Structure formats: C-alpha cells, structure tokens
Structure 1
C-alpha cells in the first residue's frame, strides 16, 4: 500500500513539473493571438520573489527565451 501511494505521488509530481516546462502545448498558448504579448515568467521559488528566466511570444509573434527555463512558472497575456 505504501509503495503504491509513493509511486502515485511521484507520478503526479513528475507530470506537474513536465507540464510547467512545455508552454507551446498548453491551452494558455492558444490564448496568444494578434495584439497580445504572451510571457511565461520563471521564478526560483514558489513565492515568486526571484525571477530567473522568461519565454514567450512578442507582439510580432517572434518566440523569445532567456535565462533559466525550470522553476515556478507564471503565465501572462499582455496587450501590445
């Protein structure tokens, strides 16, 4: 019983971590359209106090990525 619970918890944790690292396949990416700037801000900690990287699409639709791409992610759609 303990082993099954531990395995399930590990699978959920890995799935959540993997989903945070693949922005293009998310429903959030579909919110990016003409006239919007979409950015995934990556923070070092869960309190979102230390920004370590960003990635997203600028107003011209060009993809950008800078800094560290693993951590705690916050998604935003901003007007151009």
Structure 2
C-alpha cells in the first residue's frame, strides 16, 4: 500500500513538473518574411482607433530591417507583396 501511494505521488509530481516546463504553444517571433517576395510592416499608432501614426518597423523587399519613430502604441501588422 505504501509503495502504491509513493508511486502515485511520484507520477503526479512528474506530471506537474513536465506541464510547467513544456510550453502550451510555440510563439513565433515574426512571420516568414522573404526578401524579394514579401514586405512585412508593423505600423504603430498612438491611439486604439489608429488615427495618430507614431512609427513603424518592417522588413523590406531587399531583406533589410528598418525602424522609424516610436515603437510603443497600438500595432497593425501587414504582409505586402514586393
């Protein structure tokens, strides 16, 4: 009886430990932007209505990252063809 209780407790402990280490889903840093194929653009606005533009970040068609203005605010993401 003691051995079953100890085994059950160990199984629960291992399950909880594994669940806390393995992420539920893998986050992607940014979508697949390909030089010469797509242009990825994150436009940043000051307000939730997206009326006041404050900056942007992107990956252009030549494969170069660029950043302008402020990067804090409400973001709109677009993938555009080259």
State the Cα distance separating 1:28 from its structure 2 match: 6.9
> Unmatched 5+ residue regions in structure 2?
1-26
State the Cα distance separating 1:52 from its structure 2 match: 0.5
Instruction: Using structure 2 for the length normalisation, give the TM-score.
Output: 0.61
The Cα RMSD (Å) is 1.5
Instruction: Using structure 1 for the length normalisation, give the TM-score.
Output: 0.63
Query: Deviation above 6 Å: which 4+ runs of structure 1?
Result: none
Normalized per residue, the structure richer in helix is 1
Partner of 1:52: 54
> Unmatched 5+ residue regions in structure 1?
1-25
Question: Which of these two proteins has the greater Rg computed from alpha carbons?
Answer: 2
The one-character-per-residue Cα deviations of 1:1-49 (angstroms, maximum 9, x if unpaired) are: xxxxxxxxxxxxxxxxxxxxxxxxx637223124100010000000001
Partner of 2:32: 31
Report how many aligned residue pairs link the two structures: 55
Q: 1:28 to 1:38 in 2, by over 3 A?
A: farther
Q: CA–CA distance in 2 between the matches of 1:75 and 1:67?
A: 16
The one-character-per-residue Cα deviations of 1:24-78 (angstroms, maximum 9, x if unpaired) are: xx63722312410001000000000111000010001100000011000011000
